[in-house]
Structure 1
Amino acid sequence: MRILIVEDEKPAAQKLEKAVRLAKPDAEVVGITDSISETVDWLRQYPVPDLLLMDIQLSDGLSFRIFEEINPGCPAIFITAYDNYWQQAFEQNGIDYLLKPVSQEKLGASLRKYELLRKFFSNHLDALQRWQQAEPAGAHKKRFLVKRGADYVSIRTEDIAYFYATHKVVCLVESKGSKFILDQSLTDIERQLDPELFYRVNRKYLVNMSAIQRIKTYPKSKLLLELQPAVGEEVVISQENVTAFKEWMGQ
């Protein structure tokens, strides 16, 4: 179990880390961050942890903003001195809501809850995959309705080069280069698309196979993609994702 602790008070963070080690000796605390900005930077730089232990009120705002800037896709246990954020917590990957001061017993129960959920979904993964494969033909989204000035236009999915997330918004980029802002998250869009045509290469980019012009080797066993239309930054596939990406490209 790899855990990232998000807590802006150093003594509280150290106490929480110690409590984690007592409750789950084989758990690994992979990092401790103390703000929204630092947490977002950490999640962009390192592999996604299995679990977040997250204070809600941080020095630069509520930690829910982290999920607006980057959706790590992992569950979170929220820890706070206030009881009025529970609804938002469970809307943002929350699996438990603990009030400070957190006892060793309650933390242990929350970590066991996470393990039970992980075991349940791991055991049912095959069934979920069969369910996905049994979806009726044509279930994947064929068009996206976007706004162009004062008008709306419908764009065919096959005419989309890629989607990318930036500054709390998601953009659709046509193969001809036109860009449109969408009001959905990248994760929600990914669920609607045909996985044989589109692939989530990293947290920021969801690409159409036809938009990949070149695949280059990159330091530390990563891959670098060149897309068309071109982008103004490096699109890198992490070492952990390289094997799955190659299998997708070779399907």
Structure 2
Amino acid sequence: MNILIIEDEELTARKLRRLVQEVEPTAQVVGITGSVEESVEWLRTQPGPDLILMDIELADGQSFDIFNRIRVTSPVIFTTAYDEFAIKAFKVNSIDYLLKPVKEEDLRSALSKLQAMRQALGGPATGGPAPNLEASLAGLLRQLQAVVPAAAPPSPETPFPPAPYRDRFLIRQGQRLFSVGIDEVAYFFSRNKMSFLKTRDEHDWMVDYTMDELAAMLDPRRFFRLNRQIIAELRSVDKVHLYFNGKLKISLRPAAEEEVIVSREKSAEFRQWLGE
């Protein structure tokens, strides 16, 4: 099975490639692209892969733009830190939607689902897309519903246990190790493909996690991912300004080095998070 990975965070792409090799040793990652532009060019010039693992938020836009610019016939498994795109994902060639950080059991289940669908549609179980995959996309989605029935909503009498959100981070500074409590953190930010936390007393410390991984570790009542570069704690939001085209401009405390913009698509969610 030839797999293309579309992911703009280098560390996440490397981890995903390693995970693919662990889950499916016979699979071959034939390419890694990090933007809409690069992905479109790769798909135009290379044979169609058997499967695409595709992040949604890329450096130059959402990966849905790829489908508007080029005909994609390969099945797609979306990998993303956001769950609000699930319905939109299944309107294209998606067979599954995995939230980051991607777990081994989730990827294994998604690949097994792909094989089951190919068999149900009369295609090969492994290696090479089913010959009638594109023409049978509607049937493929029906098979998806059959293979993975919708989960029943939780009973009011049996609520979910509280999520184990992080309350501290271990920092390495040379030969020194020390802990920074979550109450000391003003925000997390990305710079030069590395992740840092900014403390309220204006110290920057590198953390060994991607922004996607951090977003999954933090209490969403306290932290909000403003954009791909910033995850802010509620008390660090100093001022919110209306910006053009429905966007918001955020002033943080301590001040961020670069302008902080919340996209039009996320502005309503952000305002609700603030208490609107």
Q: TM-score range by the shorter chain?
A: 0.5 to 0.7
Q: Deviation per CA, 1:30-65, whole angstroms, max 9, x where unpaired?
A: xxxxxxxxx99x82343453998699xxxxxxxxxx
The residue aligned with 1:134 is 160
Checking the alignment, whether the CA contact within 8 Å between 1:145 and 1:155 is kept in structure 2 is yes
Aligned-residue sequence identity (percent) comes to: 19
Are residues 1:144 and 2:159 paired?
no
Q: Deviation per CA, 1:170-227, whole angstroms, max 9, x where unpaired?
A: 1111111211221222222222221111011122211101111111111110001111
The residue aligned with 1:171 is 196
Are residues 1:106 and 2:133 paired?
yes
Per the alignment, do residues 151 and 7 of structure 1 end up closer, same or farther by CA in structure 2, a change over 3 Å counting?
same
Displacement of 1:135: 1.9
Measured in 1, the distance between the counterparts of 2:150 and 2:213 equals: 24
Instruction: Look up the equivalent residue of 1:177 and give its one-letter code.
Output: E
Checking the alignment, whether the CA contact within 8 Å between 2:81 and 2:215 is kept in structure 1 is no
Checking the alignment, whether the CA contact within 8 Å between 2:223 and 2:232 is kept in structure 1 is yes
The one of 222, 228, 232 equivalent to 1:197 is 222
Measured in 2, the distance between the counterparts of 1:47 and 1:122 equals: 28
Are residues 1:153 and 2:153 paired?
no
Measured in 2, the distance between the counterparts of 1:144 and 1:211 equals: 18
Checking the alignment, whether the CA contact within 8 Å between 2:154 and 2:160 is kept in structure 1 is no
The one of 165, 179, 183 equivalent to 2:208 is 183
- Return 5+ residue gaps in structure 1 as ranges: 17-38, 56-66, 78-86
1:7-86 to structure 2, matched below 5 A, reads 7-8=41-42, 10=44, 43-47=58-62, 49=64
Displacement of 1:152: 0.9
Measured in 1, the distance between the counterparts of 2:225 and 2:152 equals: 20
Displacement of 1:121: 8.5
Checking the alignment, whether the CA contact within 8 Å between 1:7 and 1:54 is kept in structure 2 is no
Displacement of 1:243: 0.9
Instruction: Look up the equivalent residue of 2:132 and give its one-letter code.
Output: E
Checking the alignment, whether the CA contact within 8 Å between 1:48 and 1:72 is kept in structure 2 is no
Displacement of 1:149: 2.7
Displacement of 1:148: 2.2
What SS does the corresponding residue of 2:240 show, helix, strand or coil? strand
Instruction: Look up the equivalent residue of 2:160 and give its one-letter code.
Output: A
Displacement of 1:247: 0.5
Measured in 1, the distance between the counterparts of 2:44 and 2:150 equals: 38
Per the alignment, do residues 120 and 220 of structure 1 end up closer, same or farther by CA in structure 2, a change over 3 Å counting?
farther
Displacement of 1:6: 3.7
Measured in 2, the distance between the counterparts of 1:181 and 1:47 equals: 27
Normalising by structure 2, report the TM-score. Answer: 0.54
The one of 246, 249, 252 equivalent to 1:224 is 249
Displacement of 1:147: 1.1
Per the alignment, do residues 250 and 71 of structure 1 end up closer, same or farther by CA in structure 2, a change over 3 Å counting?
closer
What SS does the corresponding residue of 2:132 show, helix, strand or coil? helix
Instruction: Look up the equivalent residue of 1:250 and give its one-letter code.
Output: G
Displacement of 1:114: 6.3
Measured in 2, the distance between the counterparts of 1:9 and 1:182 equals: 34
The residue aligned with 1:36 is none
Displacement of 1:167: 2.6
1:120-131 to structure 2, matched below 5 A, reads 123-124=150-151, 127=154
What SS does the corresponding residue of 2:161 show, helix, strand or coil? coil
Measured in 2, the distance between the counterparts of 1:122 and 1:50 equals: 29
RMSD over aligned Cα, in angstroms? 4.6
Displacement of 1:116: 6.2
Are residues 1:242 and 2:267 paired?
yes
Checking the alignment, whether the CA contact within 8 Å between 1:147 and 1:153 is kept in structure 2 is yes
